[in-house]
Amino acid sequence: MDAINGNLDLWLEGISYTLLVFFGGGIIALVLGTIVGAMRVSPVPVARAVGTLYVTLVRNTPLTLVFFFFVFGYSALALPTLSNTVLGIMAIGVYTATYVAETLRAGINTVPVGQAEAARAIGLPFGQVMTLVVLPQAFRSVVPPMMSVFIALLKNTTVAAGFSIAVLPQLQSTISNSHTRTGTPMEVLLWVAIIFVALVMLLTWLQRSLEKRWRIAR
Amino acid sequence: MTSVLFDVPGPRARRRNTILAVVTIAAVVAILAFLVWRLSLTNQFSAAKWSVFTYSAVWASIGEMLMNTLRAFALAAVLSLALGFVLAIGRLSDHAWVRVPVTVITEFFRAVPVLVMMMILYYGLPTLGMKVDPYWAVVLALMVYNGSVLAEALRAGIESLPRGQSEAGYAIGLRKSGVMALILLPQAVRAMLPVIVAQLVVVMKDTALGFIITYQELLYYAKLLSSQPGRPILQSALVIGGIYIVMCLILSGIAKWLEIRTRRSPKDKVLEAEAAVLMHEGTDTELLVAQGDGKRGRRQGRDRR
């Protein structure tokens, strides 16, 4: 327990940075992912192609490499300096956006064809077909897989530790590099693992209860 | 499916779509132009920045690092498949003393991030007096995580089979092991093959995490190259990134190909014939699907039915 009690300040910092990367990345991923997902089902072939290219490229790139591009590559462009944390949040957002886009697209595909057909039959244009008929139904079937995307996002925040962003696993090197801090790397890392298991369990529970509440009776 | 959402565009819709297309192209061109502008402003295209890639020694090292990546990937893939089978079968066991611990282990391994597992193996174990090579830390961490994910996929595959399958197996006198090995697993593996290969893409991508625990693989070398004269950090990231993307695209391509192949079962052929008949009767939607997305639309339309 010394590993926790002796370094409460560090643990607090680690958890808040992890949550910052999680929520920051999540918001970017949701916004960007919705745009890309909409592009992938849109009636404009160019938009579909751009969306597909983005998803295929980023999905087949390791997250570590995306971080590498943003954290190390950005400074080579001589743009206004941003902290590693901001760049890391952007990297994880851009990466997760592809998963959000694919989940949304899959959700739209689960709505039976008849629904869109009926909506078109009563004369609704594309925008109204989507907002009034398809998306409200897609939303319900999207919630469980979307939660899985966010669970993966939570676990992916650990990658930021490799780019000197103060998320939880970074504690291990901070503590073992200082002489005054207590706790062996093993203790620290096991506590990190336990925190992640607890957070993942929490999200899984949320996923189950949302799934139950919004299940569609078909 | 996509094309069912909207009609064949009329003149107004066509004009609007053209505008949207122009806006999309303009946005993409603007982003690319901005990048190219910044890149040329900071002299990223100059020969000096790319000169490291003219040495054959550099390419020989890239080849060596590529082999390191592939070595870790190959062993991790095989081991995680093996672990996946063991955990899946254990979790379906009739004996609670097998099922409960295996369930706990699977859930635990699935919840711990791969990088934390790698760090536990690489930084944590030495404090207990065990020195672990980075290679083994990468391989073992990938094995336990992806093994438990694959176990869940296999279990889902087995549980989705009709009960009659195992009942028929028992009826002809097979034992539990026989039913599992001869009847359930072959069908589950076949059904889950695209998922399994897609998970192998994840294994491939996650070998790059080895970079963080100083495993000498491709990304580690990219970082190393960036300390060469000219500091070609973007250039080496681009070259190494290209190699990663090509490798993952090949694996994803195999996954997609398998998905299309396994879908061509006899049952599907009947549906395809039905679809063809319907196509001649031609409701608006089917025509649209047929002319719109071509093959893809037709296939997805069929799945719906």
ipTM score assigned to the predicted complex: 0.88
CB pairs under 8 A between A and B: 173
Q: Searching chain B, which residue's CA lies closest to the CA of residue A198?
A: B111
Residues of B in contact with A106 (CB under 8 A): none
CA distance B152 to B158: 10
Angle at A142 between CA A139 and CA A146, to 5 degrees: 125
Question: Chain B: nearest CA to A182, how far in angstroms?
Answer: 13
Can you give the pTM of this predicted structure? 0.84
Task: Tell me if B142 sits within 8 A of B206, measured CB to CB.
Answer: yes
Which residues 238-277 of B are in CB contact (within 8 Å) with A?
A: 240-241, 244-245, 248-249, 252
Other CB atoms within 10 Å distance of the CB of residue B9: 15
Q: At what angle do helices B56-91 and B233-263 cross, to 10 degrees?
A: 40
Spatial separation of the C-alpha atoms in residues B176 and B93, rounded to whole Å = 10
Neighbours of A4 (CB within 10 A): 14
User: CB-CB: which of A43, A162, A193 is closest to B212?
Assistant: A162
CB spacing of B119 vs A189 below 8 angstroms: yes
CA distances from B302 to A102, B252, B261, B295 (A): 21, 24, 16, 11
pLDDT of chain B along its 305 residues, tens only? 445 666 677 788 888 889 989 999 999 999 999 988 888 888 888 887 888 888 888 899 999 999 999 999 999 999 999 999 999 999 999 999 999 999 999 999 999 999 999 999 999 888 888 888 999 999 999 999 999 999 999 999 998 899 999 999 999 999 999 999 999 999 999 888 888 988 999 999 999 999 888 898 888 888 888 887 777 888 888 899 999 999 999 988 888 888 888 776 555 555 445 544 444 443 444 444 444 443 443 344 344 33
Q: State whether A60 and B125 contact (CB < 8 Å).
A: no
Task: Tell if the CB–CB gap between B21 and A155 is shorter than 8 Å.
Answer: no
CA distance, residue A95 to nearest chain B CA (Å): 13
User: What pLDDT sits at residue B7?
Assistant: 67
